[in-house]
Chains A and B, each alone.
Chain A
Amino acid sequence: MTNDIFLKLKGIQKSFGGVHALKGVDLEIRKGEIHCLAGENGCGKSTLIKAISGVHEIDGGEIEIEGEKVEKMRPIDAINRGIQVIYQDFAVFPNLTVAENIALNGEVKNKARLVDWKEVHRTAEEAMNQVGAKLDPDIQLERLPVAGKQMVAICRAIINDAKLLILDEPTTALNEKEVENLWKVVRSLKEKGIAIMIVNHKLDEIYEIADRLTILRNGSFVSTGLISEYDTARFTKDMTGHDVTSAKYAPEESGEEIFRVEGLSLSGRFTDVSFSMNRGDILGITGLLGSGRGEIGEALFGITPVESGRIYLNGKEIQIKSVNDAIKNQIGYVPEDRLTQGLFMQRSILDNVVVSSIRKYFHGVKLDDNQMEEAADHWIKELSIATPSAKPAVRNLSGGNAQKVVISKWLNTDPRLFILNGPTVGVDIGAKSEIHQILRGLAQKGIGIIIISDDLPELLTNCNKIIIMRDGRIGEVTDNTIERIEL
């Protein structure tokens, strides 16, 4: 029995400057199994991966690989023992070809001086055959979609004798077909006896692919077991620490329509999207990547405007051809990627709060410093952002507080419609529910709130109306009384 176990972790501990990221985590991964590691953001998943791959040195606990205790794990030791991690950025070279990306690491490891192109191609072909990927070996990687880059990263791991392949949130940037293809590849690798660990927090995906599951919460081990031992209730309870009973959002029916779109289309993104929402509603939009869920948000905010269709806000038809149009019509948008799209990390909280509403503070010939400061202080208090003042740079804030700054930025523009794409990605549990409370409060005040998310429990608790996008069209419209959403 013990022969089956590839990796065994016992009581792994790791702390960063007094903060305990891992407080004694146990984990067992068997050869030829697909093991999911689940947990909310900030539960220590990524720290654990980095401990396994030798990037972080552990403070306590034991790591055993194939029954042999590893004293000190450095990145190179992990690789030599067959542990390969595919992070979300894949660490591939956009300017090199598929073949080279697959074969290069091996050549570097062998300390080769010359490149044998025939060998490179042979290696790449072999890897692609093993994985079952069909890619043009001579194409530059920057010309491939994300799924292609991921395949290349997987091929590279396989050719480097991976015995345990760790995939960090592999489906976040894939569309439906690509996810299916990925699962096919993963299953075929499993057949070959390779252990696979997938970091994921989406229950339906876990059900589809995993054999076993381990759940972490707040840096601690919660439970582990066969996937059949988990139902939705247990999964949610183990993930969040409390039962699903958190009150579902149910506003009083106001009957007063505040926002309506008719027949929105943008070629290649979505077709004929119509919906409406009433005062007090929180509308959820979900779907797989590429289903058009995020694209609708970007279109309503004018980043990539719609080509046809009508948009009515508070009963008046409006045109949104640019971001400026959206802002003029008091539409706010929290983008998906907070770090690159939402925030100016080096600039102060104050600057980040006023950036979209700066016109308000221009009186006569100059901007009014004091007024801007008051506004920032107001939102810091209102949303309880943890900072001594509005002066520090945003990069010093945690994910949850940073997201609150992005929300403040738009609240400061007095939005009538507020669209949030993945509002709680990378936000810890406490701040997550705070943000949900804020959004509910806004909806009650009559601001139209649209949440775009792939976090289904989030939508089920906080939206009273949910749109499910499939292949660029509205697939289904439902309220939040249902138990589960099928994408």
Chain B
Amino acid sequence: MKEKNKYAFLTSTQMILVYVIIAFSLVVGFRQPAFFSPATIITICRTGIFTMCFALCEMVVILSGGIDVSFPAIGCVAMYVPMYIVNRVYKIDSAFFAFAVAIIIGLLFGLLNGFLVSVLELPPLIATLATSSVASGGVVTLLGTREFTNLPSSLQAIYNTNLITYTAPDSGFTYPLNVLILVPVVAALLVSWVLRKTMLGRGLYAIGGDKNAARVAGFNVRKLQFIAYVFSGVFTGIAAMIYNILMHSATTSALMGDEMITIAACVIGGVRITGGHGTVLGTFLGVLLITLVQNNLNMLGIPTSWQRFVVGIVILLGTILTSWQAKRSMNAGRA
């Protein structure tokens, strides 16, 4: 029995991901010894911040049996509107204000998604697609498409706050790690705790596993679905504001297309698209792998124009692998 458990652990999706990540790092490191440096870790962290934030949102929604493709549009609106207000309406130099507006916008669209999916019972993919076009179409119609690259000083102050700064000894380049990295870290720990230790979290797993059984067991299915989409909306708002601060740019299209990579990260991390399965750790590993691949294809000598294709293939393989793993698990019950 112990032996069998050990085998199951070693061939679990998460462990396979770990092997792949290690193997990939070794290959890159072998070709470019500079890869093994603290600078790499900081770079990965910096680029992975947003993907991790969005992946957390997506994971919670998928766990509950849904899917959310509206977060890029919601995110764009959530960073664009406060910056528009600050730049063109009234100069409110307050980080609190910026985040509050972003969160409220995320909340509103999250509520809309929740309403469409749980009350009207529309298919989640199409419902959130609709929300997506309502969000981006609406805001651009009302406020136009500009790019705001100047941060108010309060946000600039956050941008200037770094946890650590690593200076490469040979080149003298500095690699600062912004304090905002703590947001996804704290959020991941928090989500992980909620999913594991609270009835709310178990309820999300329960409705993702079998809605009818959840209803019979006394869970409020609608409420739980609402919570998943609202969490996704609110945290997307926060993540979008972080993007704005770190990138010094707020546009109406900056995040568009990110749903692809985010869903892929979740799925590769073992979140089953049909709901009910997945962990924060797995999602983290999925994000890590995708970020690693995206960032280091140059180092492997793959030309820029080929990179999207290669990333696509990696995602496809990851998806196939996890689907195969899921089937293996389900077949175990039949034998």
Q: Which residues of A contact B (CB under 8 A)?
A: 91-96, 100, 104-105, 107-109, 112-115, 117, 140-145
For the complex of A and B, 4 pairs with smallest distance between CB atoms? A95-B276, A95-B209, A93-B209, A91-B213
A104 to B210, alpha carbons, bound, how many Å?
14
Contacts of B197 in A (CB 8 A): 114-115, 117
Is the CB of B198 closer than 8 A to any CB of chain A? yes
Contacts of B329 in A (CB 8 A): 140, 142-143
Contacts of B199 in A (CB 8 A): 107-108, 112-115
A109 to B206, alpha carbons, bound, how many Å?
15
Is the CB of B219 closer than 8 A to any CB of chain A? yes
Contact indicator A108/B333 (Cβ below 8 Å): no
Is the CB of B142 closer than 8 A to any CB of chain A? no
CB within 8 Å for A142 and B217 given contacts A91-B212, A93-B206, A95-B208: no
Contacts of A144 in B (CB 8 A): 333
A117 to B329, alpha carbons, bound, how many Å?
23
Rounded to whole Å, the gap between the CB of B11 and the closest CB of chain A is 14
16 A-B contacts (beta carbon < 8 Å): A91-B213, A93-B213, A94-B209, A94-B210, A94-B276, A95-B205, A95-B276, A107-B202, A108-B217, A113-B198, A115-B199, A115-B201, A117-B197, A140-B329, A142-B330, A142-B333
CB-based nearest B residue for A148: B333
Contacts of B206 in A (CB 8 A): 93, 96, 104
A281 to B196, alpha carbons, bound, how many Å?
60
Within 8 A of A (CB), among B313-335: 329-330, 332-335
Is the CB of B301 closer than 8 A to any CB of chain A? no
Contact indicator B210/A93 (Cβ below 8 Å): yes
Within 8 A of A (CB), among B193-252: 196-203, 205-206, 208-210, 212-214, 216-219
Rounded to whole Å, the gap between the CB of B201 and the closest CB of chain A is 8
A142 to B333, alpha carbons, bound, how many Å?
6
Is the CB of B46 closer than 8 A to any CB of chain A? no
A107 to B208, alpha carbons, bound, how many Å?
18
Q: Mark B180-201, 1 if CB is under 8 A from A, else 0.
A: 0000000000000000111111
Contact indicator A114/B209 (Cβ below 8 Å): no
Contact indicator A145/B334 (Cβ below 8 Å): yes
Rounded to whole Å, the gap between the CB of A94 and the closest CB of chain B is 6
A145 to B331, alpha carbons, bound, how many Å?
10
CB within 8 Å for A105 and B218 given contacts A93-B205, A93-B206, A93-B209: yes
Q: Mark B280-306, 1 if CB is under 8 A from A, else 0.
A: 000000000000000000000000000
Contacts of A141 in B (CB 8 A): 333
A8 to B198, alpha carbons, bound, how many Å?
40
Contact indicator A104/B276 (Cβ below 8 Å): no
Contacts of A114 in B (CB 8 A): 197-199
Rounded to whole Å, the gap between the CB of A285 and the closest CB of chain B is 22
A104 to B214, alpha carbons, bound, how many Å?
10
CB-based nearest B residue for A141: B333
Contacts of B332 in A (CB 8 A): 142-143
Contact indicator B209/A104 (Cβ below 8 Å): no
Contact indicator B333/A143 (Cβ below 8 Å): yes
Contact indicator A105/B205 (Cβ below 8 Å): no
CB within 8 Å for A93 and B333 given contacts A100-B202, A108-B199: no
Rounded to whole Å, the gap between the CB of A74 and the closest CB of chain B is 13
Contacts of A100 in B (CB 8 A): 202
CB-based nearest B residue for A85: B216
Contact indicator B333/A92 (Cβ below 8 Å): no
A108 to B206, alpha carbons, bound, how many Å?
11
A142 to B332, alpha carbons, bound, how many Å?
8
Contacts of B333 in A (CB 8 A): 141-145
A112 to B219, alpha carbons, bound, how many Å?
12
Q: Mark B63-82, 1 if CB is under 8 A from A, else 0.
A: 00000000000000000000
CB-based nearest A residue for B326: A142
Contacts of B216 in A (CB 8 A): 91
Rounded to whole Å, the gap between the CB of B105 and the closest CB of chain A is 29
Contact indicator A93/B218 (Cβ below 8 Å): no
Contact indicator A115/B198 (Cβ below 8 Å): yes
A115 to B276, alpha carbons, bound, how many Å?
17
A117 to B198, alpha carbons, bound, how many Å?
10
Contact indicator A108/B212 (Cβ below 8 Å): no
Contact indicator A93/B276 (Cβ below 8 Å): yes
Rounded to whole Å, the gap between the CB of B145 and the closest CB of chain A is 43
Rounded to whole Å, the gap between the CB of B135 and the closest CB of chain A is 31
A92 to B329, alpha carbons, bound, how many Å?
17
A100 to B213, alpha carbons, bound, how many Å?
13
Contacts of A109 in B (CB 8 A): 218
Known: A93-B213, A105-B218, A115-B197. 15 other contacts (CB 8 A): A91-B212, A91-B217, A92-B210, A93-B206, A94-B276, A95-B209, A96-B202, A107-B199, A108-B218, A108-B219, A113-B198, A115-B196, A115-B201, A142-B329, A143-B333
Contacts of A92 in B (CB 8 A): 210, 213
CB-based nearest A residue for B277: A95
Contacts of B196 in A (CB 8 A): 115
A109 to B216, alpha carbons, bound, how many Å?
11
CB-based nearest A residue for B193: A114
CB-based nearest A residue for B212: A91
Contacts of A93 in B (CB 8 A): 205-206, 209-210, 213-214, 276
Rounded to whole Å, the gap between the CB of A289 and the closest CB of chain B is 13
Rounded to whole Å, the gap between the CB of A86 and the closest CB of chain B is 11
Contacts of A95 in B (CB 8 A): 205, 208-210, 275-277
Contact indicator A104/B202 (Cβ below 8 Å): yes
Rounded to whole Å, the gap between the CB of A264 and the closest CB of chain B is 21
Contacts of B275 in A (CB 8 A): 95
Rounded to whole Å, the gap between the CB of B326 and the closest CB of chain A is 9
A143 to B329, alpha carbons, bound, how many Å?
6
A93 to B218, alpha carbons, bound, how many Å?
13
